[in-house]
Amino acid sequence: MTYIHDTITKLQKTSPAQAEFYQAVEEVLDSLQPILETSEKYQLHSIIERMIEPERQIMFRVPWVDDQGKVQVNKGYRIEFNSALGPYKGGLRFHPSVNAGIIKFLGFEQIFKNALTGLPIGGGKGGANFDPKGKSDGEIMRFCQSFINELYRHIGPTTDVPAGDIGVGAREIGYMFGQYKRLTGNYDGVFTGKSLLWGGSLVRKEATGYGCVYFAQYMLEAKGDILAGKRCLVSGAGNVAIYTIEKLYQLGAIPVSCSDSSGTIYHEAGVNLDTLKELKEVRKVRLNEYVTAHPDAKFIPVADYPADGNAVWRLPAELAFPCATQNELSEADAKALVANGCIGVSEGANMPSTQDAVEVFLDAKIHYGPGKAANAGGVATSQLEMAQNASMQRWSFEEVDEKLKVIMKNIFISASETAAEFGEPHNLVLGANIAGFRKVADAMIEQGVV
Question: Which strands make up the sheet holding 123-128, listed edge to edge?
Answer: 56-65, 71-82, 123-128, 88-94, 160-163
125 among known catalytic residues: yes
3-state secondary structure of 133: coil
- Side-chain half-sphere CA neighbours of 135 within 13 A: 21
Write the CB contacts of 295 (distance below 8 Å, at least 6 apart in sequence). none
How buried is residue 225: exposed, middle or buried, by Cβ count under 10 Å (0-12/13-18/19+)?
Answer: middle
Beta-bridged to residue 234, according to DSSP, are 321
* Residue 90 · residue 101 · CB < 8 Å: no
Cα–Cα distance, 87 to 80 (Å, whole number)? 9
Burial annotation 38-58 (CB, 10 A radius, 16+ → b, else e)? eeeebeeeebbeebbebbebb
Q: Determine the 3-state secondary structure of 90 from DSSP.
A: strand
Out of 104, 113, 125, 230, the active site residue is 125
1 burial type by CB count under 10 A (0-12 exposed, 13-18 middle, 19+ buried):
exposed
Active site positions, annotated: 125
